[in-house]
C-alpha cells in the first residue's frame, strides 16, 4: 500500500454520480491514474471514477459527488488518511467506540462523555474517523450504525448514520448492561464481523485471573492465597487458616461489595463492607459459622473470591495501592503509560480513585516509606518486570485481543509486590489538568486509538 496522505473531502452537488476528483500532486504521490476504483469507508464500499482536479488546489483536498457521499455515509468535510492499494482506495480507518451511550438529542451525556471526546479527538489526529455507539444502534440489513461523532472544531456532538467500523474499542463499563441478552447477542455478532480488530471486549473474572496467575511460574509468587466460595464448610476452613481476609465479588468493580473480615482471639468476627454509595457498613458476628450463615445467600449468588489479607505498607496511616496502566500503541507492543499510587480516604478499605482516593507519584511515595534509595530502585525494577510478566501470562490464556490493562498492586512490609486486582477496562480520569501529568493523561487516550489503527494496518483486508 502506498504511503497514506491526509486529505479533506468535500461534496460537490453539481458533480455527476460516481465521480471523485483528486489533485495531480496527490495522484502522483499515491501512484494513481485516472480511471475506475473501489472506494471503501469502514464497512461501506462503492465504485468511483477518479479524475484529476485541475487548477491551483491544495494537495490535501478532494471532491466527491453527492451519490458517493451518500453511499459511503461520509460526513461532510471529513478529514481522513487516504490509503491506496491497486484499484482500492480506503478513506482512512473507522473506529467504533462501543458503549452504553447516554444522550439527549444529539448531545452525549454521562460520566464517559469527556472520555469519548478525548478518544474521538485522538482518532481524528490519527487520520481516522471515530464515533461512539451502543450495540443496539446497528442496522445489519442496511449495514450502518446510528452513532455519535464529535466535531472538534465546533465542539459539538453529531448524531448520524455511520458505516460499520473497521475496529472496535470496547468501553461498555456497566456489567449489567454488558450481560443483557439483547446486548450480548448484538455484541457477539459485531465482534465476529470485525475480529481480530476488536479489543478489550470482556470483563475479567477475578477467580479465573487468580488461577491463571497462580498457575504460571512467571507470576505465581505475585498472588496471595485465595479460594472461590463454594460451601460454608470450605469457606470455614479457609477463614480458620487466615484470621484476616478480604471477600471480593468475582464480577464486581469499583470496590463495591468488598468485605473485610477480622477474626478476634475470642472467635468473634468483625467485618466491614463497601456499599454502592461508597460508604462502609460494619458489624460483628459471634463466630465464623454465624457470619457465614448470615451472608450465605450473598456469597453463593455473588460469587465471591476469598483472599488472605496482605499486610501492606501504608502512607501517613492510609492504605494505598500502586496502579500500572499498561497499553498497546502504534507498534502493537505493551507500554507502561502510567505508574502511580492511589491513596485511600481515611477509614476506607479500598483506594479506588472513582470513589474518592487520591493519586501521587510512585517514586515520591516510596522515598517516604522505604529506608533507602536502593530499596526504592528495587521496587521500581520489580514493577517493570511485573509489567512484562502479567500481560504475557494473560495473553497466553485469554481469547481475543487485549489492548490495555489496569494492574492494582500492593507493597507489603517486606517490600514485596503483590497483584491485588487486574482490570480489563481500566478507568482513565477524563479531566486533564495542566502540569506534569498532562502529557501522560492525554497519552492514555491516544494509545488505544493508535493500537486500533495498528490492528487495521496489520489485519485489515485492504
Dump pLDDT digits (tens) for 19-35.
Answer: 999 999 999 999 999 99
Alpha-carbon distances of 256 from 120, 323, 350, rounded to whole Å: 30, 18, 9
Give the span between the Cα atoms of 55 and 64, in whole angstroms.
16
- 184 in the same domain as 114: yes
Instruction: Report the interhelical angle of 373-395 vs 206-214 (nearest 10°).
Output: 110
- Output phi, psi for 280, to 5 deg: -105, 140
Average pLDDT along the chain, 462 residues, taken 10 residues at a time = 82 95 92 95 96 84 95 94 94 97 93 95 95 96 95 94 97 91 94 91 88 95 94 92 92 82 93 85 92 87 89 91 96 95 73 60 94 96 97 92 95 95 88 69 94 93 62
179 near 149, Cβ under 8 Å? no
Distance of alpha carbon 77 from alpha carbon 64, whole angstroms? 11
- 54 and 115 inside one domain: no
**Predicted local distance difference test score (pLDDT) of residue 462:** 61
- Give the pLDDT of residue 429: 79
User: Is 99 inside any structural domain?
Assistant: yes
If asked whether residues 258 and 355 sit together in one domain, one would say no
**Residue given cell 507519584 in the structure block:** 361
The answer on 346 and 288 residing in a single domain is no
Number of domains in the chain: 4
**Host domain of residue 167:** 95-199
In a domain, 191, yes or no: yes
- Enter the pTM of the model: 0.90
Determine contact, residues 166/194, Cβ cutoff 8 Å.
yes
Summarize pLDDT for 142-167 with one digit per residue, the tens.
999 999 999 999 999 999 999 999 99
- Statement to judge: residues 333 and 418 lie in one domain: yes
Rg of the chain over Cα atoms, rounded to whole angstroms, equals 26
d(CA 183, CA 185): 5
- The CATH number of residue 127's host domain is 3.40.50
Q: Is residue 401 domain-shared with residue 325, that is, in the same domain? A: yes
Report yes or no on 215 lying in a domain.
no
For residue 150, what pLDDT is reported? 96
| Rounded CA separation 329/437 (Å) | 19
349 and 316 in one domain? yes
Q: In this structure, are residues 81 and 453 in contact, taking their beta carbons and an 8 Å threshold?
A: no
Q: Which of 92, 114, 140 is the last residue of a domain?
A: 92
Do residues 51 and 102 both lie within one domain? no
Contacts of 437 (CB under 8 A, 6+ apart): none
Domain-embedded: residue 272: yes
pLDDT at 420: 92
Per residue in 208-223, pLDDT tens?
Answer: 999 999 999 999 999 9
CATH number of the domain residue 10 falls in: 2.40.40.20
Does 419 share its domain with 316? yes
Question: Do residues 320 and 331 both lie within one domain?
Answer: yes
The reply to whether 330 and 404 lie within a common domain is: yes
- Indicate if 84 and 102 belong to the same structural domain: no
CA nearest to 128, candidates 156, 94, 153, 103 = 94
b/e burial code for range 214-253 (CB count within 10 A of at least 16 → b): bebeebeebbbebbbbeebeebeebbeebeebbbbbbbbb
Is the separation of the CB atoms in 42 and 163 below 8 Å? yes
CA dihedral 49, 52, 56, 60 (to 10 degrees): 60
User: Which residues are CB-contacts of 226 (< 8 A; sequence separation ≥ 6)?
Assistant: 210, 305, 306, 307, 308
Amino acid at each position: 500500500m502506498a504511503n497514506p496522505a491526509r486529505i479533506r473531502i468535500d461534496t460537490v452537488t453539481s458533480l455527476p454520480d460516481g465521480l471523485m476528483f483528486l489533485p495531480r500532486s496527490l495522484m502522483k504521490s499515491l501512484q494513481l491514474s485516472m480511471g475506475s476504483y473501489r472506494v471503501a469507508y469502514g464497512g461501506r464500499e462503492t465504485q468511483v471514477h477518479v479524475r484529476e482536479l485541475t487548477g491551483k488546489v491544495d494537495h490535501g483536498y478532494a471532491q466527491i459527488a453527492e451519490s458517493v457521499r451518500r453511499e459511503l455515509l461520509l460526513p461532510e468535510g471529513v478529514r481522513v488518511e487516504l490509503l491506496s492499494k491497486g484499484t482500492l482506495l480506503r478513506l482512512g480507518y473507522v473506529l467504533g467506540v462501543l458503549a452504553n451511550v447516554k444522550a439527549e438529542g444529539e448531545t452525549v451525556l454521562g460520566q464517559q462523555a469527556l472520555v469519548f471526546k478525548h478518544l474521538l479527538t485522538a482518532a481524528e489526529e490519527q487520520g481516522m474517523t471515530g464515533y461512539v455507539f451502543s450495540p443496539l444502534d446497528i442496522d445489519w440489513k442496511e449495514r450502518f450504525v446510528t452513532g455519535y461523532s464529535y466535531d472538534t472544531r465546533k465542539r459539538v456532538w453529531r448524531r448520524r448514520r455511520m458505516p460499520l467500523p473497521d475496529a472496535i474499542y470496547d468501553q461498555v463499563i456497566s456489567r449489567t448492561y454488558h450481560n443483557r441478552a439483547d446486548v450480548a447477542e448484538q455484541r457477539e455478532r459485531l465482534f465476529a464481523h470485525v475480529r481480530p480488530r476488536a479489543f478489550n471486549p470482556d470483563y475479567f473474572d477475578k477467580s479465573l485471573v487468580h488461577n491463571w496467575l497462580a498457575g504460571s511460574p512467571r507470576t505465581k509468587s505475585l498472588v496471595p492465597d485465595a479460594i472461590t466460595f463454594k460451601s460454608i464448610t470450605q469457606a470455614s476452613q479457609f477463614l480458620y487458616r487466615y484470621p484476616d481476609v478480604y471477600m471480593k465479588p468475582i464480577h464486581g468493580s469499583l470496590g463495591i461489595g468488598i468485605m473485610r473480615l477480622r477474626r478476634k482471639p475470642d472467635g468473634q468476627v468483625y467485618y466491614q463492607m463497601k456499599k454502592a454509595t461508597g460508604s462502609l457498613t460494619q458489624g460483628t458476628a459471634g463466630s465464623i459459622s454465624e457470619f457465614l450463615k448470615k451472608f450465605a445467600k450473598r456469597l453463593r449468588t455473588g460469587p465471591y473470591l476469598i483472599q488472605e489479607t496482605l499486610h501492606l505498607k501504608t502512607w501517613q496511616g492510609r492504605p494505598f495501592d500502586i496502579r500500572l496502566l499498561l497499553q498497546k500503541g502504534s507498534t502493537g507492543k505493551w507500554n507502561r503509560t502510567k505508574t502511580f499510587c492511589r491513596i485511600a480516604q481515611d477509614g476506607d478499605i479500598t483506594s479506588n480513585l472513582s470513589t474518592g482516593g487520591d493519586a501521587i507519584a510512585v517514586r515520591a511515595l516510596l522515598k517516604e516509606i522505604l529506608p533507602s534509595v536502593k530499596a526504592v530502585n528495587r521496587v521500581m525494577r520489580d514493577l517493570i518486570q511485573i509489567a512484562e510478566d502479567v500481560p504475557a501470562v494473560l495473553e497466553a490464556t485469554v481469547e481475543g485481543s487485549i489492548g490495555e490493562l489496569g494492574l492494582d498492586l500492593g507493597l507489603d512490609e517486606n517490600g514485596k509486590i503483590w497483584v491485588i486486582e487486574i482490570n480489563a477496562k481500566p478507568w482513565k480520569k477524563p479531566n486533564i489538568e495542566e502540569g506534569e501529568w498532562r502529557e501522560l493523561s492525554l497519552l492514555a487516550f491516544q494509545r488505544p486509538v493508535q493500537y486500533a489503527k495498528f490492528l487495521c494496518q496489520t489485519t485489515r483486508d485492504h
